[in-house]
Each structure stands twice: as C-alpha cells, then as structure tokens.
Amino acid sequence: MSLIESNLLFGSSRFKNVENRVQSLIEVAEANIQQLTTQIGELTRMREREMSVLATLCLMILPIGKLPPELLVEIFKIVVHTPLIDDSNMPSWGLIPGDSGPALQKVLRLSQVSPYWRQLVHSTPQLWAEGVVGVNLNKELTDRYLDGLDTLLTRSSPYPISMSIGRGSDISAAPSKSSQTLALSDPILVFESSRRLRVFTLDATVSTIRLLRLPWLQLTHLQLHDASLVGCRTALLQCGNLIWAKILTSYDWDSPSPATDSPVTILPFLSTLDLEFQGFPNFDEVHGVEAFFLPLALPSLKTLVLELDMNGEFWPTTAFTDFQSRSLNIEKFTLCYSEVDSQKLITLLRHSPALTTLGIKHCKQCIDNDFLDVFRWDHTATSSPLVPKLENLSLINVGFSFESGPLEAAIRSRWWKDGEQRLSDGSAPVSRLKVVSVTRTREDHDYFGNDIKNRMQELVDQGLHLYLA
C-alpha cells in the first residue's frame, strides 16, 4: 500500500467507525474489570468472614474454647507476665521505637489468634497495665510510636499503669528524615495527662528528670536514676501520695539556688525510701546528702536505705538529725559505703527510737570499740539505752577497728533467757536480740576464732540466730 493510499484509509470515515467501536469495547472491558475487582474484594471479605467463623467454631470444640472468659483471662495474665528469661537483673519488658518487649509482644500475639481472643485482650485492662510500657527517649520518637503509646494508655484504663522511661547515649544519634526530632531542652509532655499513672521508673544516664512533665501527685511508686540531684529532689517533693521510692543520683547540688530554697514538705504516706549518691562530692559547694534531707518530713517512713559510694566523709549531722525529728517511725535503717565515724553513727542512732533492724555494710569507720561500749546495755546506767527496740543487727565488712571482746559483751548484754531481766510489769528495758550477723573476713585471715564462737554457742542453743565470720 502506497503512502497516499494509507493516508486516505486512516483518514476515511470507515476507519473512524472502527476506532469508535474499539473505544467502546475498551470502555466495556474496563467496566468489566472494575466490576470483577469489586466482586473479588467482596468475595475476599466474605472468605475472611467465613474463615473467622470457622476459626471460632473450631475453637468452641477445643478444650480451651470451652473455658469461661474469666478463666481464659487469668491464663492470659499468666502468659503475659511470666518472664522469658529467669534473670532478676534483666528487664522482662520494654518498648522502644521499632521494637517491643516480650510482654507487649505476647499481648499483641494473643489478640491475633481469633476475634474472640482479640475482644478479650482488648477488654482486659490488666493485660496492658503491668510491665508493658517501657519508653526509650531518643531523637526518633515518631508520630506512629507516640500514637501507639496513647493506645496502650487507653487500653489500660481504668487500672494504674507501670511505666519505665530510659534515656541512654543514643539520645545524641542523628534523627531519621521521617522522625520527630526531640530537642534536648524540650519538655516531655506525653504523660502529663495520664490520669491513671501510678508507678513510674526513669533510668537515664544523662539528666532527663528536668524535662519530664508528669502528674507527680498521683504516683504511688517512683524509681529514679538521674544525674540531677535538684531534679530528683524536686520530683520527690511533688509526690504527695508516694508510698515507695528509690532514687540514684549524684552528690553535688546542681543548682545555683541555695539548698534551703524549698520549705519543709510532708510526704504523709512514704514508707520506704532507698537513696544512693554516686560520684565525687565537691566539699566547697552544697553537699548533696545534706541538701536532699533538708526539706523532707516523712512521718510514715519505716524503711530507709542510704548508700554513699565511699565518699561520705562529710556527714550532715544537724540536717539529718532534724530530718529524723520529722520522721520518728523509722524501723529499718541500712547504711552502705560510708566513711561516717562511730560517734556520728551513735548520734544518728540516738535519734532512732523506733529502730528494730540495723544494717551497716562496707563502712570501715562506723564500728569500733567505743561504739560497742555505747551499744552494750548496762542495766545499772541511768541514761537511756541506744536503739532500745533493736532486734536485728547486721554488720558486713565493717573494718578492723574493734575487738571480739567488746562485741561479745555488747551481744550478751542484749540477750537473756525467757523470763530473765524483766521489769515488775513484765516488760524489758531493751528488746532482746533475735538475729546478729557480723562479717569482717579476709581470705587470708579469720577475725573470729573458735574461742568466741564456742563461748557464744550457748546463746545460739538458747535461740539467738548468730553468725560470725
């Protein structure tokens, strides 16, 4: 066909008719494809519904499908909150961007077994309230991640939730293009409106506590690891309903304002306080131990643990004595890694009238012969006995500044057979010791020979739990 004939054909009315018919056929084919696609989608949904019904029906004839919902929920709770690794030093849960801890993974997996299980899991707040949410604050807090946190908080309602926040060295990592940048100075507001937050943990290797905006007043349990002593104390003083607290912070007062800027604050329900100060104190500035205790009034405090990281040469006797006058019900006191001398320890114990359990650990200067002489009860003395209610005494690695003779005399003075050394009204001037453990061994030397152990055996035979090493 010549070029002229071809042009005449493609420009003819006959070809136009063919083109129109083809276009109509194309439109019909596209409509048919669209219709079939819709039908396929509907059939797929129908298939999924039937598979869901089939799974539910199959579940109903299985033994686990016959369990009542209440029992099934209890099984779920056991499954979710059983650690995969039996290691008390390793957290069994966590939630970080791009990853989830075992507890959360198990909750989500249970919810995917069947619609019935998903309904049970989503309607059981206990599964979402304990040990599920752990937050690692870094610069890659995406909107999706924060939305996920909000979902978890919603599903835990109305139960109190446990939450842990960690901020590690990865805070300095460069953010991805799709992430929401969290500036180091920006306040953290995501938990500010968590009305049911009761248990809170912060484990930060750098100062983070200043950035947090939390409903401090509603917390009952608080665990803080943060470098800012001012921040930790400020947070603690806002926790008016706190029951239990453990705080690890630094020695130095990290603020230009004076340590006395906060008035005495009463925390009426706090019964356990564990404090650990780390680092090297600057004795030319305000000392952290003194600053921390100055405003505290804890009338319900029963247990106090104080660890000073072997840098406790300075002991704020006046500030701590004032604190004791506002916290008269301390029954258990443990002092660790302190260079406090025996006279300061005696002063401390003079202001501990309710003390029943005393633990001194790794304090080389706390116990000497002078301390044991004061601790020994003399029924002829007119002065009040030291810690008259003490029943349990534990001295671990307390140095070599005392002899076995004064120790034996002190223990014997606070032990008697049943019915002995009683007043006319049946009471005793001091409580009888129940447990005494003294350890100051080195690998090459036993400081308590068989002589004292043999002499003290009669007390053991009478019921005293005694360990000397």
Q: Residue 357 and residue 60: Cα distance in Å, rounded?
A: 56
Residue 124 vs residue 272, higher pLDDT: 272
Give the pLDDT confidence score for residue 202 in this predicted structure: 85
Averaged pLDDT score across all residues of the chain: 79
pLDDT digits (tens, 9 = 90+) for 184-193: 556 777 677 7
Q: Please state the pTM of the whole predicted model.
A: 0.69
**Domain presence at residue 138:** no
Mean pLDDT check: name the lowest of 69-73, 94-98, 112-116, 161-165.
Answer: 94-98
> Three-state SS for 20?
helix
Give the pLDDT confidence score for residue 241 in this predicted structure: 96
**Domain presence at residue 207:** no
Give the domain range for residue 343. 331-469
Give the pLDDT confidence score for residue 328 in this predicted structure: 95
Residue 408 vs residue 73, higher pLDDT: 408
Strand-strand pairing, 272-278 and 303-307: parallel
Mean pLDDT within 422-429: 60
Dihedral in degrees, nearest 10, Cα atoms 378, 383, 389, 394: -60
Place of tokens 């069994």: 92
Q: Which of 61, 82, 98 is the last residue of a domain?
A: 61
Residue 338 vs residue 80, higher pLDDT: 338
**Domain presence at residue 46:** yes
Q: Residue 277 and residue 337: Cα distance in Å, rounded?
A: 10
Give the pLDDT confidence score for residue 286 in this predicted structure: 64
Q: Residue 331 and residue 390: Cα distance in Å, rounded?
A: 9
Count of structural domains within the chain: 2
| Angle at 352 (CA atoms; ends 346, 271), nearest 5 degrees | 135
**Domain presence at residue 181:** no
pLDDT at 84 over 70: no
pLDDT digits (tens, 9 = 90+) for 218-253: 999 999 999 899 999 999 999 999 999 999 998 888
pLDDT digits (tens, 9 = 90+) for 8-63: 555 566 667 777 888 888 889 999 999 999 999 899 989 888 887 887 777 667 67
Mean pLDDT within 139-145: 53
**Domain presence at residue 365:** yes
Residue 286 vs residue 304, higher pLDDT: 304
| Banded pLDDT at 172 (limits 50, 70, 90) | very low
Give the pLDDT confidence score for residue 142 in this predicted structure: 52
Q: How far is CA 379 from the centre of its chain?
A: 46
Give the pLDDT confidence score for residue 48 in this predicted structure: 85
**Domain presence at residue 129:** no
Mean pLDDT within 300-315: 84
pLDDT at 181 over 60: no
Give the pLDDT confidence score for residue 271 in this predicted structure: 97
**Domain presence at residue 219:** no
pLDDT digits (tens, 9 = 90+) for 89-120: 433 333 333 334 566 777 878 888 877 888 88
Q: Residue 453 and residue 460: Cα distance in Å, rounded?
A: 10
Axis-axis angle for helices 69-80, 102-110 (nearest 10):
150
